[in-house]
Structure 1
Amino acid sequence: MSTETQTARGKKQEQVAATSTDLSDSGTDTSDSSAATTSEATATQTTVAETGEATATTTEAATGSIDTITLHGETYVLTFDEEFDAATPSFWAGFGAGGIWATSFSPHLEDSRTIASNNELQYYVDPDMSAFDNPFSVTDGVLTITASPLDATQEATAGGLSYSSGMISTEMSFAFCTGYVEICADLPDEVGMWSAFWLMPADGDWSAEIDILEVLGEDADTLHTNVWDDGSGSSQAVYDTGAADGFHTYGLYWDESVIEWYYDGTLIRSAENTAFEDMYLIINLAVGGWAEDPDATTDFSEGLQIDYIRIYELESSTERNDAITEGGFTSQELWGGTEGADTINGSRWGDLIEAGGGDDIVYGDNGNDTLYGGDGADQLFGQNGSDALYGGAAADKLIGGNGVDFLNGGAGTDHLWGGVWAADGATDTFAFEAGCGTDYVHDFELGTDLIDLSSFGIGWDDLSSAMTDQGWATKIDLAACGGNSGDAVYLANVAAADLTADDILFATYA
């Protein structure tokens, strides 16, 4: 960390440390102080002055270290830490890239960039989307998320939405169940801006939600909290917080029975816990929706500023994430393959996906992807981009899709298609080796596609004697080329007489 960053962070810490004490000393009553849950969010309200108790902190000013903290008399260890000390945050940009922060909702599924049901006006932008202003910037260890009005061309790209903005989430990289999470942030007080820090279920459903903070720019002294259970919310607003006057800490203590919200170390709400499952973080700056629409007074240069985000989990828990030291977190690559039957969706970037065991279905989506089916009867779809597909063991189906693709079915009886349709004009390569079993290529394009037999060490003369025309297909007896008994490939709708040496990749020494 540079001296400038240390100085800047020290000043921010001074703003939030004055009211901090050890939570274990508080003797706080953790009974539910919110109103009863109904079919809709049931709201209560209070002020910071009414809550009164200073009870929690994780700031370095109070503890001297951020690696461990004491909460309710028990030791908690740091398991997630983002200090934003790098010039560019670790953005998630596809499977295998190792990024932490996804910048849209479910980039491995529908890749949503707004919540239409909230009537939001913004389109969440990835940092590499050249058609829009980058909403993310880092200065002196602080990430700023900025919203911007769009011109007509940008609006068309954004599906008619009028603004761009940014969100970050750990949906693809980190989840936890119970612990203490804290953000140090400076929230914008501009009309039309809606800042939020919340938790969502890691399994992809919306059965629960915990809103650590929601602040509307036109009423930035009011902090909204909520906990949702199967669509029913229990909300509480806290007034006169001063949240818009600089950096403050917003904390959430979450255990099996209770959820507690903290503002600058002061307990502001306690509620019964109805959410007990792995959840991930979301921080976003929405425009409109619950907030008012921006008006002539809205200053879009004022963004949501984040100094740090930290998560602590109970040290004695056998189910927690691994403990780390400051800044030591690396992506855990959620939504990858397991030993079961998985359906895995790639992203708009180039993905490296290893499906693992089980009968898997893998979609590459956009980008130049590398897909491994592993064991099991797998279905691999490269889709857009120039992809490499490896079926692995068992009977697999490989479909390259658009682009110049490489397909290797591996062992077992495999069925391979290079393109989306026959005669798509892209050069696809179908590779085979000893032990591949009996495979079928369904859309081989003469003069365009290639059969890769380089692993056999043969030449055209050897291959010619191993080919027979079956009428419906040309059979290449790979066992006769040095492969295992039963190894063969059938080229559907291809006459043996039409094949030439130019359709085959041989070893360079053959």
Structure 2
Amino acid sequence: MTFRKLLTAAGALAAMSTAAIAEDRYELVWSDEFDGTELDESVWHVVEGNGCPSNCGFGNNELQSYRGKDKNLRLEDGKLIIEARMGNKVTSAKITTENVPGWTYGRFAMRAKLPSGVGTWPAFWMMPKDARYGPWPKSGEIDIMEHVGYNQGQVHGTIHTEAFNHRIGTQKGDFMQVADASTAFHDYAVEWDMGEIRWYIDGREYFRIEKQSGDGHAEWPLDHPFYIILNLAVGGDWGGAKGVDKAAFPARFEVDWVRVWQKPADN
């Protein structure tokens, strides 16, 4: 089953124009343009809290507690705003599509302007709907875009599996330098096929990984439905590796749209 959302005519035309790189192979199946006044919670699940008690700090020693309040999460001028703030608590926001059917294979993209400042860690990523091959990282993770503020403009794409993950020093990924990532909007995307994933920024491929002959689920569990996640973490093992600059907050992660394309059945 494929989850679909009806687009306005203008939104559909804009979506097709931004997908020129893929329009001969894919068709648009879902989009959120964030043009309303409130987040569509029939699609997006709003995460609350700091992960405790089962996963405090979300497994990365992150500092933030997620909230769905306007100061942290809102629609503004046709954009999704995820804002991390410093106060008595460090607060931010995280939303997922985990409560609707996921997608297996396709082109997944967003147009966004990233926050700056040491300690910021925005991400656009995907996790499996079900732990088909076991708990993380056995069932896989696809990171479409990550950026840590102490490496300003260095945008990363990675996968995590049982065989390939950062905890054992085997993570597979690469990055592309985007000088104005925090002052201009850019398109961040992956194309995920049965035996290959390709990462793009503004239509330019900068990384790909292919399933190798003999690979099993430990190497390539990426063959079942995944859902989308958008969040702005603060600190943590990677984002906070060089500290957190309190003067950088509030910090805004601005998302213009998120879109999903898939290949037609006869393609």
TM-score by length of 2: 0.78
What's the CA shift for 1:225? 1.4
Aligned to 1:100: 43
Structural mapping, 1:123-138, within 5 Å: 123-127=65-69, 134-138=71-75
Give the secondary structure class of the aligned counterpart of 2:59: helix
Pick closer, same or farther for the CA change 1:231–1:118 going to 2, 3 Å: farther
For structure 1, list consecutive stretches of 5 or more residues without a partner in the other structure: 1-5, 10-57, 92-98, 128-132, 152-161, 319-510
Aligned to 2:204: 266
Pick closer, same or farther for the CA change 1:78–1:237 going to 2, 3 Å: same
Size of the aligned set, in residue pairs, is: 234
Structural mapping, 1:215-234, within 5 Å: 215-230=147-162, 232-233=164-165, 234=171
1:113/1:123 contact within 8 Å kept? no
Q: What per-residue deviation string (whole Å, max 9, x for no partner) do you get for residues 145-168 of structure 1? A: 0011232xxxxxxxxxx4111011
Moved over 3 A (4+): 68-73, 109-116
What's the CA shift for 1:79? 1.5
Pick closer, same or farther for the CA change 1:240–1:184 going to 2, 3 Å: same
1:168/1:282 contact within 8 Å kept? yes
1:215/1:223 contact within 8 Å kept? yes
For structure 2, list consecutive stretches of 5 or more residues without a partner in the other structure: 1-9, 166-170, 212-219
Aligned to 2:99: 172
Give me the whole-angstrom Cα distance separating, in 2, the residues matched to 1:237 and 1:208.
17
- The one-letter amino acid of 1:276's match is D
Q: What per-residue deviation string (whole Å, max 9, x for no partner) do you get for residues 94-152 of structure 1? A: xxxxx11111289xx9897864420100011133xxxxx6411212210110011232x
2:48/2:65 contact within 8 Å kept? no
Give the secondary structure class of the aligned counterpart of 1:244: coil
Aligned to 1:315: 264
Pick closer, same or farther for the CA change 1:111–1:253 going to 2, 3 Å: farther
1:105/1:111 contact within 8 Å kept? no
Give the secondary structure class of the aligned counterpart of 2:46: coil
Aligned to 1:120: 62
Aligned to 1:304: 253
What's the CA shift for 1:257? 1.1
Whichever structure has more strand as a proportion of its residues is 2
Structural mapping, 1:104-503, within 5 Å: 104=47, 115-127=57-69, 134-151=71-88, 162-204=89-131, 205-206=135-136, 207-230=139-162, 232-233=164-165, 234-242=171-179, 243-273=181-211, 274=220, 275-289=222-236, 290-292=238-240, 293-300=243-250, 302-316=251-265
1:86 matched to 2:36: yes
Quick one: percent identity of the two aligned structures? 30
- The one-letter amino acid of 2:157's match is T
Give me the whole-angstrom Cα distance separating, in 1, the residues matched to 2:266 and 2:125.
23
What's the CA shift for 1:314? 1.0
2:120/2:232 contact within 8 Å kept? yes
- The one-letter amino acid of 1:308's match is W
2:125/2:142 contact within 8 Å kept? yes
What's the CA shift for 1:298? 1.4
Q: What per-residue deviation string (whole Å, max 9, x for no partner) do you get for residues 63-118 of structure 1? A: 44x7x8673953x2222110001101112xxxxxxx11111289xx9897864420
Give the secondary structure class of the aligned counterpart of 2:28: strand
Pick closer, same or farther for the CA change 1:113–1:126 going to 2, 3 Å: farther
Give me the whole-angstrom Cα distance separating, in 1, the residues matched to 2:67 and 2:157.
26
What's the CA shift for 1:297? 2.9
Give the secondary structure class of the aligned counterpart of 1:126: coil
Pick closer, same or farther for the CA change 1:134–1:203 going to 2, 3 Å: same
1:225/1:237 contact within 8 Å kept? yes
Q: Which one has more relative contact order, counting CA pairs under 8 Å at least 6 apart? A: 2
Pick closer, same or farther for the CA change 1:182–1:239 going to 2, 3 Å: closer
Aligned with 2:22 (options 39, 61, 71): 71
Aligned to 1:384: none
What's the CA shift for 1:230? 2.1
2:117/2:245 contact within 8 Å kept? no
